Copies of this chain bind each other. A is one copy, B any other.
Amino acid sequence: MAFRLALDTMGGDYGPGEIIPAAIYALKKHHDLELQLVGLEDVIKPRLAQLTPELSIRAQVIHAPEVVAMDEAPSSALRNKKKSSMRVAIEQVKKGQAHACVSAGNTGALMAISRYILKMLPGIDRPAICTTIPGINNHTHILDLGANVDSSAEQLFQFAVMGAELTGAVENIVSPKVGLLNVGTEENKGNDQVKQAAALLSNSHLNYIGFVEGNHIYSGYADVIVCDGFVGNIALKASEGVAEFFSHHVSSEFKKNLYGKLASVVSMPILKSIRRKTDPRRYDGASLLGLRGIVIKSHGRADRVSFAHALEEAMLEVEKNIPARITSKLEALLTRN
């Protein structure tokens, strides 16, 4: 099959300067990939001038005169930016012109516009953001990451169903282990929402393994970790903070004096290998689950390496046909009840 992805070329802190190089890299790597570069034509076209005809034919430019600002209120973007690159890219999915949309833009606006244009799957109240986390042993998929605050037990259950379908498909796991994020693993721990969600999960078809704690996120202990968007967002950003704290100290100690600089030369291959294995850019590309279509969010600070990974995540979800899988699982659940 050919993969057709619509890119919000203007989104993210670095915009076309990083997104177009990522697009070109992906086109070179994947010969079955066709990209629709949505945004200001005058900005995009010159950056494609050097493409070979073979690449050029797979890179379509779609002009969109407006740009959603990174700090714009989602309601304002939805109401006032009807010709934004973000919205036009999402509309390509709605019209069946693209298999998926990828954006590094304003998360709230991407959620609101996607929901408005594509609509929710039946049985799902709100979209959830799901990302892949590297673990010591294996990956964990965690959702929700910032879209929703005060999720009800039923919504946490919906997140679990969607997360398990996504994870099962992309990681090739028959019955992914689902954990519920809490402040302890004992039954009496936590707030009412998690206790009620635990009851729903215990009585479900899912492979529910019980409560998990914050440190389980990076251990690979569960395949899917479910949480409220408020908690998930803060846990993930705290993790980014710790990672920055570590790399600050590693780099400043190795640069501190001549001996450190010498040691860093000797250790360069090792340090590079560590950096590669812990590089968050390799895990860029979060899914907006629960929509009637595939929308992938790349990190706001995504550079070309990050964004190229987000494109590959989109291709994987297209190949695995995630929304259709979630729909049929939800239909089975609704029929059973």
Contact = CB atoms under 8 A, between A and B. Distances in A.
Interface in A139-181: 146, 149-150, 181
A265 to B, nearest CB: 9
A329 interface: no
A253 interface: yes
Nearest to A243: B242
Contacts of A263: 263, 266-267, 269-270
Contacts of A190: 149, 230
Interface string A239-259: 111111110111001101001
Interface of A: 71, 73, 134-136, 146, 149-150, 181-183, 186, 188, 190-192, 213-219, 227, 229-231, 233-246, 248-250, 253-254, 256, 259-260, 262-264, 266-267, 269-270, 273-274, 277-278
Nearest to A239: B242
Q: Which of A190, A215, A216 has the most CB of B within 10 A?
A: A215
Given A190-B230, A249-B274, A277-B253, A238 B239 contact: yes
A325 B234 CA distance: 31
21 contacts: A73-B186, A149-B183, A149-B191, A182-B234, A183-B230, A191-B230, A214-B233, A216-B241, A219-B241, A231-B234, A238-B238, A253-B270, A253-B274, A253-B277, A254-B267, A256-B270, A263-B263, A263-B266, A263-B267, A266-B267, A267-B267
Contacts of A253: 270, 273-274, 277
A181 B241 CA distance: 13
A166 to B, nearest CB: 21
